[in-house]
Chain A
Amino acid sequence: MIKQVTEETLENGKRYWKSLDDLACKPSFKNWVEREFPEGASMLEGVQRRGFMKLMAASFGLAGLGMTGCRRPEHTILPYGKSPEELIPGVPNYYATSMPSAQGHTPLIVESHEGRPTKIEGNPSYIPNGGGTSIYAQASVLDLYDPDRSKSSLKRSNENEDSWDVISSDQVKEDLVNLMKEGKVAILAEKSSSTARKALSELLIEKGVIWTEHEAIDLTSPEYKLGNAIGTDSGLRLIPNLGKASRVLSLDCDFLGNREPFSLANTRALMKGRKVLSAKDAKKMNRLYSVESDLTITGGVADHRLRLESSQFIAFTNLLAAEIFTIRKSGSKAEITRLQERGNVLKTHAKWIRECAVDLCSKHKSSVILPGGHLPAEVHLLCYAINQALGCIGRTVQYQVTDKPASNLLSLQEAIGKDNVKTLIFLGGNPVHNASSLDWGNLSDKISNKIHLGDSVNETTSICDYHIGQSHYLESWDEGETWDGTGIVPVQPLLAPLFETMADLELLQLLLGSSQNTHDFVKSLQEKRSSTDSYEDFLRLGVEKQMPTYYSKEIPLSELSKYKEQIPKPPTLDSLEVLLIPDFHAWDGRYANNGWMQECPDPISKLTWDNALLISPALAKTLEEKYPSLGLIPEPTMLNKNGEIAPDAANFDHGKQKAPIVTLSISENQTIEGPLYVQPGLADCSIIATLGLGRTEVGRVGNGTGYNAYPLLGNNFDRIVSNVSIEPTGEFETLANVQEHWSMEGRAIVREGNAEEYISDEAFASHMGAESHSPKIWGKDQEADLKFKAQTTPRGNSSYEHPDHNYEKSETPGLHQWGMAIDLNQCTGCSACVVACQSENNIPIVGKDQVLRGREMHWIRLDRYFSSTARDGAELPSDVQVSFQGVACMHCETAPCETVCPVNATVHDEEGLNAMAYNRCVGTRYCANNCPYKVRRFNFFDWNKRQTDELYKGPLGKKNDPLPDMGKNPDVTVRMRGVMEKCTYCVQRIQESKIQVKVKAQRNALLSTGKDGADIELSNEDIKVPDGTIKTACQQVCPSDSISFGDLSDPESEVSKLKNNPRDYSVLGYLNTRPRTTFLAKVRNPNHSMPDFASSPHAAREYHDKAHPTHHEEGDHDNHAKEGEKH
């Protein structure tokens, strides 16, 4: 009887899952996880078998005719006429530059192969980022080689007609000068932190040009909200210094993700404070509280998370302020009572707020509160007051004084209304698309010349009669400030413009009538600033320090009483609120044509090539009751008429998610249509819509992806929209969701513990998983050191002898033994590693259609797991904990893939790498079938060669544009159809470093002896690669250093130390695959007194409940157990 109860518990109490279907134990999901590739992935679809045979026969016939294979094609080698200095063919050069973005200039080091930029890395000279880069910076190199970018300037050949003439850059220059002479010029620019552009804009304003700036998602807006509220002219920009923080509260502020600026530095600083290598560190570990409406990656890291609709943050902050002022004894009683009254609506969360406030005040000088940029001014002012009361201003947070805001769209509208504008120049950006609340048609009628400078033809071009192609930042000179104002960084071109394009500075120089080129101009700015460092030094280091001014005046708490307007009513399930956030893939739309960004799954929803309207499970339930045909909530099991188990076709079919399309509307004019997607962790009455996709005038990649949410954005660009109604259209759309691809079932794959558990038992992770019950994997050698295990592959309990990787006649088993350790505690899920790997290893994109078939090619995938508290079986949980795990090839010591390859295409090398010889592979896919980690990727098509929509035409399909090939890494093979591939531990970087070390050692030795070199002696130490020299692409990009890579045979290497840490464990260790990549268990740091405290993470409890189903110790299992006893 007990057994029966156990099964029932399992059925209802599963608390650790990857998707709602998994949670519901749907047969379709079970079917799914049992397969290596998603169903359909290995089937030939779209072409009839007969048609295929015909095609093949024809192509064989043609191949025979030419006999081209008999003669070697003649290749020529084309050397320079005059070789440039510092260029040795085959040796890449590195240049410091920076990427202009809405969140300041990001300092970069860019790798260039014979003049072609191929890979972007962060510049470690800028300390806050520490060499990390954001996912957008990684992907930006692809924009340079985008075949759809503007390749020239265009002029509408006839007014009101959609045909364009190509015009030369000389003509453009002449036209611009003439227009400037005519006067009445206005410029609408996208925001920029460029100091050079600012200098030029000031000169232009002096000349009478109307200069306005616009950004739909304006990251600078909170600083002006706060500046206004405090009563200064300038902006007050909040710069967190999380390295010193021990308690952090985020108020709807995704400071680790893409919604807020400075996220790289924040990630680096915060995660450093969460690094635990010993019990001592765990005591000092910082604690993150997050209150949010969306489930962000910040919320994923948080130790305590509260779901709250965005419109309720005014009330929340008031209540929080009241608590903190009470504890800190600042503010009068009347003041506090007033704050309490204003926050009265949220009485239900009073305990959460109080305990959080107590904890913040317990470490008051190292606490910090960060408000989200979209929240109203009152919240920002309150947060300033709270931070002031905590005494943390100047320690964990700084308020940087920034310049006065530039004039905005409204003043442009006004000027146009007054007929002050004859020529309007759009300087980058896409305001026609992302400020759609304006009546652009009407406005443009009043202007005679409309010029658009842009990197590609977009929606704004459509109202213009002149389009000037804009140079990529890797083709232009500029300089700008980092977000925190502590650095000025150069923008240095790595190559001359590929096409006839113009940088924004060049255009402004033309308007000014200056003949100075942009290089000289930027140089003159630097020389004016610095007398000690030369411009060349500036370019070499890539960062120049400057000291911003900070604001730290105390504000009287009576200031807070000026907010008297009514607190917005809490949204209900009938009157919903929408929060508009920048899209993960396209941000505000600017990366919409970037294939890497489109295909990189959103960290939380795991959607690719699409955005969706995210809704909470509670809202889904209400909608489901109202409109039963939506199929939003998966049913546990479904039987068809014959009594057979049938998948729930309404919702999930072969990983193809059918999402119902709904209409959201505020008023008649403001409506959008988009697919619904149920996302646990959302505030009940919030709908999350993302801005940026659904563009109409965009290149081939971004065409037809997602829906456009900009119509909801009103005149004031307030991203919290209330009183929204929802109505299904009755249509469905398929979403390319990779969340269920490559699932590994609910074993102890991600291991988590609380800080307290960790302090009492550092090796908690090794007590989990099946291997903790099985005989020791290494047998008598279990306790041997890593070096011994890596070099000799002890037999352990296996009855088979392990292959010995000493190659014939070579006496040493490889000088190094490579291995990787991934600290799950450091990973935020930002996904930069996915794109970095794609860029380094020439990984192709496959397109939405192929992702739907489960054929995505990413070598590293970020698995996202949800786990929840105890709950009623039928209910979908809302409060979830999120865990991320990056999974790439584990380079198993006893790799299951190697034994099944019939042609030895995948074999072990003497340094422990699981090698993949592409030219040997015949594509049986046995290896992928036998890989327990599902990390092998198969080239079902010639992704690199054919356009993604022409794949099924085989050799007759159209070839890809060759332009992106310029950005390929020449050190990595471009794989073709029919070949298996997977993570190589960046073997090209390993080999290059080994060669460099040996060459250097040899030369140094030769120089020091002065003889012919036959008698020099080199020890192993001389030719070993020093620890830290080799960084894999994913490791290098990671802002939180969660990946370490190195030599296991060196006990002093960082990776060896991490692997010897008690937190270290192998995923699926009981399979005796002995992976070289191991993981360090995640440690959460919850607060005892919080109402949502759980003594161990939900994920760990779920594992224990499952692994020891008969021990019912906690939660609702007690009841079941007692019931069982009764029976």
Chain B
Amino acid sequence: MRNLFPRWVNTIPVKVILSLGIIGGTVTAGITYYATPKYTRVGYQPTQPVSYDHSFHAGQLGLDCRYCHHGVDKSSHANIPSANVCMSCHKNIKADSPLLAPIRDSYFGEDENKDGKLSEGEDLNDDGILNEGPSVPWVRIHKAPDYVYFNHAIHVNRGVSCVECHGRIDQMEVVHHDKPLSMAFCLECHRNPEKSLRPMNEVTNLAWSIASKEEEDSHITQFHAGLDIKNKWGVNPPLSCTGCHR
């Protein structure tokens, strides 16, 4: 009865502990890498119903962000432009492009002869109103959770550029999710706003970076300039829950 268990049994606890450690470590590492917004969100690049090219419009043509997203400095939402914004140019430019069909459908709707008036046979649901067509179903890329109340107006007006959260949209042919937009990401900037603050007029200039003297690191120049802006404007981003959660 002396050797009921073979000798190697003695190593079991060590092995168990070791493998548990490895499994635990892998799971933790896996979750930290694969289950955080850095991995789950960044790179999300859905196909849009209209292949709108930001790098062309905002980059090459130099349209200001606010031409289309005109609510961004007034509202909590940066609105997706309604079809009439597109049509203000595309009535004349590429007016018949098949790629723009969904936009035209949405804009003209029941107005089949495109004269802007209610004509014979156009009032499809008989309500006496010339109705617009179906909305263009743009696919949402950036989405804060329901319990987060992000406000665009305050950021844009207080010197935080679009580029800080959305990346170089002006270089994207198809827009993708560029930054993690996790709570840690938000807090990083709320704790150190000076790293991101810039003059108000440069907010929509995605290519802007501070002009630094040759011998100085641009980060340091930005830090000092940002600090200056922070103090002059009294920028004091909220770090408490109520800032974003209501």
CB of A180 within 8 A of chain B? no
Residues of B within 8 A of A1016 (CB): 200, 232-233
Taking the nearest CB of chain A, how far is it from the CB of B170, in angstroms? 19
Assembly CA distance A402 to B70 (angstroms): 52
| B153:A78 contact, CB within 8 angstroms | no
CB of B28 within 8 A of chain A? no
| B245:A1013 contact, CB within 8 angstroms | no
Assembly CA distance A1023 to B109 (angstroms): 45
Assembly CA distance A74 to B107 (angstroms): 24
Residues of A within 8 A of B136 (CB): 78-79
Taking the nearest CB of chain A, how far is it from the CB of B58, in angstroms? 18
Assembly CA distance A908 to B46 (angstroms): 40
| A78:B137 contact, CB within 8 angstroms | yes
| B74:A75 contact, CB within 8 angstroms | no
> CB < 8 Å: which of B41, B44, B81, B145 contacts A919?
B145
CB of A1015 within 8 A of chain B? yes
Residues of A within 8 A of B41 (CB): 72
Residues of A within 8 A of B13 (CB): none
Taking the nearest CB of chain A, how far is it from the CB of B125, in angstroms? 12
CB of A918 within 8 A of chain B? yes
Q: Size class of A's contact patch?
A: 35 or more
Which residues of chain A from 911 to 965 have a CB within 8 Å of any chain B CB?
Answer: 911, 913, 915-920
- If A1002-B158, A1015-B232 touch, whether A81 touches B84 (CB-CB below 8 Å) is yes
CB of B246 within 8 A of chain A? yes
Assembly CA distance A1022 to B140 (angstroms): 36
Assembly CA distance A829 to B149 (angstroms): 34
CB of B55 within 8 A of chain A? no
| A77:B140 contact, CB within 8 angstroms | yes
| A1014:B225 contact, CB within 8 angstroms | yes
CB of B119 within 8 A of chain A? no
| A76:B82 contact, CB within 8 angstroms | no
CB of A82 within 8 A of chain B? yes
CB of A546 within 8 A of chain B? no
> CB < 8 Å: which of A79, A83, A910, A1014 contacts B240?
A910
| A80:B239 contact, CB within 8 angstroms | no
| A987:B153 contact, CB within 8 angstroms | no
Residues of B within 8 A of A639 (CB): none
Assembly CA distance A971 to B147 (angstroms): 9
CB of A89 within 8 A of chain B? yes
Q: Which residue of chain B has the shortest Cβ distance to A1000 in the bound complex?
A: B157
CB of B80 within 8 A of chain A? yes
- If A810-B239, A909-B242 touch, whether A1012 touches B81 (CB-CB below 8 Å) is no
| B236:A810 contact, CB within 8 angstroms | yes
- If A89-B79, A90-B77 touch, whether A991 touches B242 (CB-CB below 8 Å) is yes
| A807:B71 contact, CB within 8 angstroms | no
Which residues of chain A from 83 to 114 have a CB within 8 Å of any chain B CB?
Answer: 83, 88-91
Residues of B within 8 A of A1125 (CB): none
| A1013:B83 contact, CB within 8 angstroms | no
Taking the nearest CB of chain B, how far is it from the CB of A391, in angstroms? 55
Taking the nearest CB of chain B, how far is it from the CB of A840, in angstroms? 11
Taking the nearest CB of chain A, how far is it from the CB of B15, in angstroms? 30
CB of B209 within 8 A of chain A? no
CB of A973 within 8 A of chain B? yes
| B84:A1018 contact, CB within 8 angstroms | no
> CB < 8 Å: which of A81, A915, A974 contacts B106?
A81
CB of B40 within 8 A of chain A? yes
| B83:A81 contact, CB within 8 angstroms | yes
Taking the nearest CB of chain B, how far is it from the CB of A213, in angstroms? 33
Taking the nearest CB of chain A, how far is it from the CB of B162, in angstroms? 16
State the main secondary structure of chain B at its contact with A. Answer: loop
- If A987-B242, A998-B158, A999-B154 touch, whether A79 touches B234 (CB-CB below 8 Å) is no
Contact with B along A53-75 (1 / 0, CB 8 A): 00000000000000000001011
Residues of B within 8 A of A195 (CB): none
CB of A872 within 8 A of chain B? no
Assembly CA distance A80 to B158 (angstroms): 29
CB of A760 within 8 A of chain B? no
> CB < 8 Å: which of B76, B80, B153, B159 contacts A79?
B80
Residues of A within 8 A of B225 (CB): 1014
Assembly CA distance A1013 to B73 (angstroms): 15
- If A909-B241, A972-B246 touch, whether A89 touches B201 (CB-CB below 8 Å) is no
Residues of B within 8 A of A810 (CB): 236, 239
| A807:B80 contact, CB within 8 angstroms | no
Taking the nearest CB of chain A, how far is it from the CB of B51, in angstroms? 16
Residues of B within 8 A of A72 (CB): 40-41, 44
Which residues of chain A from 627 to 659 have a CB within 8 Å of any chain B CB?
Answer: none
Contact with A along B205-246 (1 / 0, CB 8 A): 000000000000000000001001100111010111111011
CB of A1003 within 8 A of chain B? yes
Assembly CA distance A90 to B78 (angstroms): 9
Q: Which residue of chain B has the shortest Cβ distance to A88 in the bound complex?
A: B71
- If A80-B132, A83-B84, A999-B157 touch, whether A1012 touches B202 (CB-CB below 8 Å) is yes
Assembly CA distance A197 to B136 (angstroms): 42
Q: Which residue of chain B has the shortest Cβ distance to A985 in the bound complex?
A: B242
Which residues of chain B from 92 to 149 have a CB within 8 Å of any chain A CB?
Answer: 106-109, 132-140, 143, 145-147, 149
CB of A171 within 8 A of chain B? no
| A1002:B157 contact, CB within 8 angstroms | yes
CB of B191 within 8 A of chain A? yes
CB of B62 within 8 A of chain A? no
Assembly CA distance A1020 to B246 (angstroms): 25
Residues of A within 8 A of B79 (CB): 79, 88-90
CB of B75 within 8 A of chain A? yes
Taking the nearest CB of chain A, how far is it from the CB of B160, in angstroms? 12
CB of A566 within 8 A of chain B? no
Residues of A within 8 A of B245 (CB): 915, 917-919, 973
> CB < 8 Å: which of B135, B138, B191, B232 contacts A81?
B135
Taking the nearest CB of chain A, how far is it from the CB of B74, in angstroms? 5
Assembly CA distance A80 to B243 (angstroms): 30
CB of B199 within 8 A of chain A? yes
| A995:B238 contact, CB within 8 angstroms | no
Residues of A within 8 A of B242 (CB): 909, 911, 913, 915, 984, 987, 990-991
Q: Which residue of chain B has the shortest Cβ distance to A969 in the bound complex?
A: B246
Residues of B within 8 A of A916 (CB): 241
Residues of A within 8 A of B202 (CB): 1012
Assembly CA distance A1017 to B241 (angstroms): 28
Q: Which residue of chain B has the shortest Cβ distance to A76 in the bound complex?
A: B137
Residues of A within 8 A of B234 (CB): 1018-1020, 1022-1023
Q: Which residue of chain A has the shortest Cβ distance to B237 in the bound complex?
A: A810
Residues of A within 8 A of B133 (CB): 81
CB of A541 within 8 A of chain B? no
Taking the nearest CB of chain A, how far is it from the CB of B96, in angstroms? 18
Q: Which residue of chain A has the shortest Cβ distance to B134 in the bound complex?
A: A81
> CB < 8 Å: which of B192, B199, B239 contacts A1014?
B199
- If A90-B71, A90-B77, A1018-B232 touch, whether A984 touches B246 (CB-CB below 8 Å) is yes
| B71:A991 contact, CB within 8 angstroms | no
- If A915-B240, A1013-B199 touch, whether A89 touches B73 (CB-CB below 8 Å) is no
Assembly CA distance A916 to B241 (angstroms): 8
| B236:A81 contact, CB within 8 angstroms | no
CB of A1006 within 8 A of chain B? yes
CB of B151 within 8 A of chain A? yes
Residues of A within 8 A of B228 (CB): 1014
Taking the nearest CB of chain B, how far is it from the CB of A992, in angstroms? 8
Could you list some 22 contacts between A and B, CB below 8 A? Answer: A76-B138, A77-B138, A78-B138, A79-B79, A79-B82, A80-B84, A81-B84, A81-B106, A83-B82, A88-B70, A808-B191, A911-B242, A988-B246, A991-B246, A999-B74, A999-B153, A1002-B158, A1014-B198, A1016-B233, A1018-B232, A1018-B234, A1023-B234
Given A81-B109, A1019-B234, 14 new contacts (CB under 8 A): A78-B135, A79-B80, A79-B135, A81-B82, A81-B133, A81-B134, A91-B71, A91-B76, A808-B239, A911-B242, A913-B242, A973-B146, A1014-B198, A1017-B232
- Closest CB pairs A-B (n = 9): A81-B132, A1013-B200, A909-B240, A78-B135, A90-B75, A90-B77, A1014-B199, A75-B140, A83-B82
